Chains A and B, each alone.
Chain A
C-alpha cells in the first residue's frame, strides 16, 4: 500500500510541475463529485440529477509555489487564462515514474502561500472530459 495515496505528482500539459520531493506527506485529497440538482415529484420521491462531473483536489507543497497559480502574471499566457488539462499521478518508488491517478480537464489551480509554515496550499478544480 502506497503511503502517499492518492497522489504526489502533478503534471500540467504533460509537464511535471510538482513531484514527491515537494509534497507534504499525506496532504493529497481527491474528490470525485458532480454538479447536482434534485426534483421532488408529487409522489414524495426525490430524483437526483447530475449535470456535470466536477473533480477537484487539494494538496500542500513545500515552499512558495504561487507561480503555479492559473493566470499567474509570470506566465506567457495572457489573462484571462483558460483551464488546462492536468494529471494527478502517484510515484510509489523513489525516482519512479508516476502512475496516473486522475486527469482533470479545464483545471484551474489556486495557490495560497503561508510564510509561517513555508507551505503552499493548492486547490485544483475542473471538469471531466466529455
Chain B
C-alpha cells in the first residue's frame, strides 16, 4: 500500500501526491458559534489539512512532483470542488468540496506545502 493523498477535482484529472513523512496535518477550522456566556455550538464540521511534497523541475516521479502538477492542484474561482482522500498511512485523510492552495518554497531542497479546506460529507464518508 502506498502512502499517498489523491486530489480529485470536479472536472479534470486527479493528482496523486506522496507527502513527506511527518508533514501531514489535519483538523481544525470548524465553524463554531457561541461560547463564553452563550452556549457553544459547532455549526459546521470542517475537514482541513496540509502536507508537504518534494518539488522537481525534472521528470515527475511518484515521490517528486512538478510545478505543472502542483499548479493543477490549485482551486480556481468558484465553489470548492476537490475531493481529498488519503491511502495507506494517510487513510484517515478525507475532505469534500475543498479549496486547495499551494505554497512553493526554496532553500536547498524544494518543497511545496499543499493546504486544503473542505467539509465533512456524511453521505459519502
Contacts and interface: CB of A to CB of B under 8 A. Distances in A.
Interface in A72-101: 90, 92, 101
B80 A48 contact: yes
A1 interface: yes
B90 interface: no
Interface in B26-56: 31, 43-46, 55-56
B43 to A, nearest CB: 5
A62 to B, nearest CB: 15
Contacts, number: 112
B119 A6 contact: no
Interface residues on A, range: 20 to 34
Contacts of B31: 38, 40, 46
B108 A3 contact: yes
Interface string A28-59: 11111110101011001111111111000000
A31 B103 contact: yes
A127 to B, nearest CB: 10
Nearest first, the 10 closest Cβ-Cβ pairs linking A and B are: A40-B44, A48-B80, A5-B110, A26-B107, A33-B101, A26-B106, A46-B44, A46-B119, A6-B104, A28-B106
Given A2-B110, A25-B106, A44-B120, 15 more contacts: A3-B108, A26-B106, A29-B106, A30-B103, A32-B70, A32-B74, A32-B103, A36-B99, A46-B46, A46-B118, A48-B97, A50-B75, A50-B80, A52-B77, A53-B76
Interface of A: 1-6, 25-34, 36, 38, 40-41, 44-53, 90, 92, 101-102
17 contacts: A3-B108, A5-B106, A6-B67, A6-B106, A26-B106, A26-B107, A30-B104, A31-B102, A32-B70, A41-B44, A44-B43, A45-B45, A45-B120, A46-B118, A48-B79, A48-B117, A51-B77
